[in-house]
Structure 1
Amino acid sequence: MICQAMHTRELFVDAARKCLSTGRKHLSVPHSLDVAAQLSAVDSALKPALLYDANSASAEQVHRYLRSCQSSQLVSDSLVTLDLHGNTLIVNPVAIRSNLERILHNSGPAMIDISHSLEKPTIIEPVRTGLKSIAQDLLFLLRDLNAAKDVDKVICVAVGSDEWNLSAVFGLLLGYPAVYWFDQTESFENCLAMTPLTVTTASATWFAGASSHQLYSFSIPAVLQNETLSSLVEWKLGLQERFQQQNILKELTVCQSAVTLPSVCL
């Protein structure tokens, strides 16, 4: 069992070194293993998507890495690579589809308006029409992917996406229980500066004795803790349920911390 685990790790590291290098610089072993753990979490539907930010590897490189892992049967063939305005994601279409459909029925994550003109963050009810439109566009894209027998290229999300609020889109795609929204026609700044935030992180170990890997990290303004509590509880219960249905990652931990920052970039 230990030998098999070591072989699996070696395959993941080898794929990262071959596909994700930038210039003469290889992705380090710890970073390679963290990306592999994140990818395994997406494949197991513990998280709907991985936003790749380990280094400056291109979307094409990340896609080659995914295809290499799929060819070695390390992850399933159902995962696909998206390029969203230069941001690369590896997504689980089934898991994302479920999240997006909830938005259309007003049962998705809590929506938090952090527009710069506000004195403090506030809950948006009902869900903004613009966000539903984005969810519908992404669902159409996923249905097209489902109809394709072999997705062997990076999927560029372009049509209509220039006007998307990327902060909200990433929150949706990454499966957060609370999503930030701001009026970008007014300003790309927000009102989170010096606002007490509660940061929730979820981590798990990939192999016995290995270090823990962070699967989720998101913040919610402390002033909205009561209003978002039901969404957070539902998210945590869903994560624990999905965790019990897989056997790749172990020792799930969910913890919270408080931070206050002079500025918050999204």
Structure 2
Amino acid sequence: ATNVLLVAAAQQTLGMGKRKSHPRAICFHLAGEVLAVAWGLKPAVLYDCNSAGVLELQNYLGQLQGLGFLALGLHILEIGENSLIVNLKHVCEHLEQVLLGTIAVVDISSKHPHPSVCSLDRLQDLKALVTELIMHLHGLQRDLSVGVSHSRLHSTDWNLCTLFGILLGYPVSYTFHMNQGNDNCLALIPLRVFTARISSLLCQHQILLPLVSIRLVPKPYSKCLGEGSQNPI
């Protein structure tokens, strides 16, 4: 059965012994994430289930390909100590759309009294980074006959919060000035979480494909903040 195959693929390749194997729910969730990427529903997924490395992820994706769930074209992109599974074709198309200004970037730097939407043209460092990513990923599309390819990028000066928001396909990405630490102007403001999902009937087994989950300032708070309030609510 499909559910047995998906669970076994994750537990055999990503587990670290029987006691530490992934629970069934995590296996299904991971399969849904990977399928969403493979089918072009989202550009990438960040693997954060455990400390499995590139080799383990390649073995996992290779098993899914061998079982007929995935086509060629998936790639493991290492950025710092993080591993993202991307669909090379779709992630390049997505990043090219980002350069055209299709997503909102919200500056939440602590120096601001409230969050503010800004265009990518005002964030030249981020725009240059997205351009660099496109060039890197385009070069990897020349040979998609390789099972699951892999590449690594160094991220010494990158704002990974913003970068991952863009790579994962969030319609809104937060950014902030790195030289101001981790503080931001959203402190103590409750955020509302919006999640989009679709379900797929795969071989008579329903799998939830999580598309995106983002946290936004609720309307009453955003209205107050827009009027210049500097006090946490």
TM-score (norm 1): 0.74
* Partner residue of 2:166 out of 162, 172, 188: 172
Question: How does 1:83-122 map onto structure 2 within 5 Å?
Answer: 83-105=78-100, 107-122=101-116
Code of the aligned partner of 2:103: P
Contact 2:72 2:148 in 1 (8 A): no
Distance in 1 (alpha carbons) for counterparts of 2:151 and 2:207: 33
Residues 116-169 of structure 1: CA deviation (Å, up to 9, x unaligned): 2222111113441111111111101111110134265431122xx311110111
What residue ranges of structure 1 are gaps of 5+ in the alignment?
1-6, 227-261
Residues 196-228 of structure 1: CA deviation (Å, up to 9, x unaligned): 4232101223436747453311112235979xx
User: For residue 128 of structure 1, what is the aligned residue in structure 2?
Assistant: 123
User: For residue 218 of structure 2, what is the aligned residue in structure 1?
Assistant: 222
User: For residue 246 of structure 1, what is the aligned residue in structure 2?
Assistant: none
* Partner residue of 1:203 out of 197, 206, 210: 197
User: For residue 229 of structure 2, what is the aligned residue in structure 1?
Assistant: none
Contact 2:107 2:118 in 1 (8 A): yes
Rate the CA distance shift 1:206–1:30 in 2: closer, same or farther, 3 A: farther
Rate the CA distance shift 1:209–1:79 in 2: closer, same or farther, 3 A: closer
Rate the CA distance shift 1:81–1:135 in 2: closer, same or farther, 3 A: same
Code of the aligned partner of 1:53: D
User: For residue 11 of structure 2, what is the aligned residue in structure 1?
Assistant: 17
Q: For 1:119, what is the secondary structure of its paired residue? A: coil
| Identity among equivalent pairs (%) | 32
Distance in 2 (alpha carbons) for counterparts of 1:36 and 1:211: 8
Contact 1:8 1:74 in 2 (8 A): no
What residue ranges of structure 2 are gaps of 5+ in the alignment?
224-231
RMSD: 2.3
* Partner residue of 2:27 out of 14, 25, 32: 32
Contact 1:99 1:108 in 2 (8 A): no
